[in-house]
Amino acid sequence: MDDRWSQSPDGTVTGRDGRAVILARVADTGSDALPRANLLADCSRCFGLCCVALPFTASADFAVTKAAGEPCRNLAADSGCRIHSSLRQRGFAGCTVYDCFGAGQQVAQVTYAGRSWRDDPGSAAQMFAVFPVVRQLHELLWYLQEAIEKSAGELRVRAADLQTATAALTGLPAPELLEVDVATHRDRVNQVLLEVSTLVRADRPQKSRRGADLVGARLRGADLRGANLRGAYLIGADLRSADLREADLIGADLRGADLRRADLSTALFLTQFQLNAAHGDAVTAIPAVLTRPGDWTSPQ
C-alpha cells in the first residue's frame, strides 16, 4: 500500500490528513468491494477527457495527428463525439478500441467534483495529467476484481487488500494522484495476479508463450487452454476456433487477431480494450462481464 495510507483490520483505509475510505472486505463478505459498473466507461459523466488529454498520430487508427491537451476536432461542446456513429469509416478506428475502465467519470465527477476543463481552464493541464494515472489504477482494479473472484483463502485476502488500497489511491486529491508511484504499485498487484494465474492454470500445463512473437501466427483450432500468453504479440494472428479457456491474456496484443468461433469464455484478465481491437463474430465465446463489439455481428 502507498505509505501515505494505512489500513486497519476492518478494511478502513486512512490517509495522513485523517480522511478515510471505507470499503467492504471482499475476502470476508463475499460481496463485491467495487462493483464492475464503476470500471465501465460512462461517457455521459465525463468531459471527453480521452478526446483531449491523450495524443494520437496520423495512422491506420487515426486520420489526423493530435497533441496531448488539444481537443479532438470531432469533440462537440457537450463533450460528445460529432462522428461517433461513423468513426471507423472516417478513419478513427482507434477511438472505437480505447477503453478508460471508468477513469473518465472518476476524474470528472470525483476528483474534480463535476467541474470541467472548460469551466476551469486553469485546472485543465492538471486534469489531463491526472486522467492517465487514474486510468492505470482503474485497469488494476479490473484485474484485481477478477483475481478475487477466481481465488480463495490467503490469496483472495491479499487480492482484496490490494483492491482496497488501489481504490483508495483513486480517491486522492489531484496533486497527490500525480505523486503516486504507479509502476511500483503495479508490481505489487502483478505479483498477486501471477499467483492467481498459476493457480487457475495449474490443471492445464502448457508451454509458456509469455511475450512471444506470434504476429500473424497460424493458430486456427489450436488448443491453448491454460496457455501463458501474457504480453504475447498476437497481432493479426489466426485464432479462429481456438480454445483459449483459462489462457492468461493479460497485456496480450490482439490487434487485428481473428477470433471468429474462438472460445475465450473463461480466459484470464481479458479486457474490453483487447476485444475491441480484434475481429470476432456472433459465435465467439467471451466472458460474461465483457460486451461483444458491435461489428461482431454474424457467424462467419
Q: Where exactly are the structural domains of the chain?
A: 5-40+127-200, 204-300
Label residue 22 by pLDDT band (50, 70, 90). very low
- Which runs of E-coded beta strand occur in the chain? 5-7, 12-15, 20-22
How distant, in Å, are the alpha carbons of 173, 196, 197 from that of 190?
25, 10, 10
Summarised one tens digit per residue, pLDDT across range 237-294 is 999 999 999 999 999 999 999 999 999 999 999 999 999 999 999 999 999 999 999 8
Please state the φ and ψ torsions of residue 13, each to the nearest 5 degrees: -110, 120
Label residue 297 by pLDDT band (50, 70, 90). confident
- Alpha carbons 46 and 67: distance in angstroms, whole number: 20
Summarised one tens digit per residue, pLDDT across range 144-202 is 999 999 999 999 999 999 999 999 999 999 999 999 999 999 999 999 999 999 999 99
Give the pLDDT score at 113.
Answer: 95
Summarised one tens digit per residue, pLDDT across range 42-62 is 999 999 999 999 999 999 889
Q: Is the pLDDT of residue 227 over 50?
A: yes
Does domain 204-300 match CATH 2.160.20.80?
A: yes
The predicted model scores a pTM of 0.86
Label residue 205 by pLDDT band (50, 70, 90). confident
**Of the candidates 165, 107, 120, which has an alpha carbon nearest to the alpha carbon of residue 140?**
165
